[in-house]
Amino acid sequence: MNRRTLGRTGLSVSEIGFGAWAIGGNAFGNSYGATDDAESTRAIRRAFELGCNFFDTADVYGHGHSETLLGAALHDIRDQVFIATKAGGGGDFTPGYLRFAVQRSLERLRTDHIDLLQLHNPPINLIAARGTYEPLEEMKREGLIRFYGVSVHPPEEGVAAVQATMPDTVQIVYNLARREAEDTFLPTAQAANVGVIAREPLANGFLAGRYNAASTWERGDIRSRMPRPYVAQLSALGQRVQELAGQSGMTAAQLALKFVLDRPEIACAIVGMKTVRQVEENLNSGV
């Protein structure tokens, strides 16, 4: 597994990271279908065996269940991995709540520090305000977190984070179907030496080429709520990626990941994985 430097953090991270949203399970909905905790744990350990050292989660994934699984699976190798989590996913970014959230995350993750704490999709006015980051600076001084960043949606939010000058990293959607970050955000982040983490590199799994316009998902899977024209569009793109991948001896997922990682501005692509099979396909991509 190749490693890249995560901006000014200086952390040497695997270019493919383990996205732990899905392993939070579907008990509360807003995830990616059924999971098996034993298989999730095996997937986490297999990812580490294959060279993955960056694990990304959030306190809202499975209402903390994702963090709990990661904490248990990584406890004995904690000094060999970097754990990134997020706080504020419920919309509360006040200093008191952020400190409360960090303390709870530390307990679930079974660690005394978080390598990267990310504000979870805050509004752009908070992203742009330096005061937003004061509680994070305080927790950084106390050793509760090592670095911090923001997780955003549109590129203008990412640019606002860079211009605020405080965040060390920005996590943003980037894939074959969502390329708008290329125009302004990626060069802006690179110039400021802000670490870029690409999320949804497989576009919610569609770029793996396994779905079509008629595909359906169980209740609670976020794809079940997507408009059908959008499903048709993404699945058609996934099928085309699969065709091209077959010509080069790769899987569709591997080709889609290669597209993302061909951008030198991106330090790490976070891939959602919940089975050993998915881990082995994604981390053996050779990109």
How do residues 222-245 score in pLDDT, each as one tens digit?
999 999 999 999 999 999 999 999
pLDDT at 285 over 70: no
Of 178, 74, 63, 55, give the one whose Cα is nearest residue 118. Answer: 55
Alpha carbon separation from 216 to 85, 105, 207, 223 (Å, rounded): 30, 34, 16, 8
Domains and CATH numbers, the chain: 3-283 (3.20.20.100)
Note whether 13 and 6 are within 8 A (CB): yes
The answer to whether residue 137 scores a pLDDT higher than 60 is: yes
Global pTM reads 0.96
Alpha carbon distance 220, 224 (integer Å): 7
User: Token pair of 213, please?
Assistant: 């316009």
User: Looking at the predicted structure, is the pLDDT value of residue 265 above 80?
Assistant: yes
Three-state secondary-structure class, residue 217:
coil
Higher-confidence position of 220 and 165: 165
SS3 of residue 220 by DSSP: coil
Residue tagged 């106390």 (tokens): 142
Rounded distance between C-alpha atoms, residue 14 and residue 4, angstroms? 6
Quick: pLDDT tens for 62-104.
999 999 999 999 999 999 999 999 999 989 999 999 999 999 9
Q: What is the mean pLDDT of residues 207-218?
A: 93
- What local confidence, expressed as pLDDT, does residue 27 receive? 80
- The pLDDT score that the predictor gives to residue 28 is 74
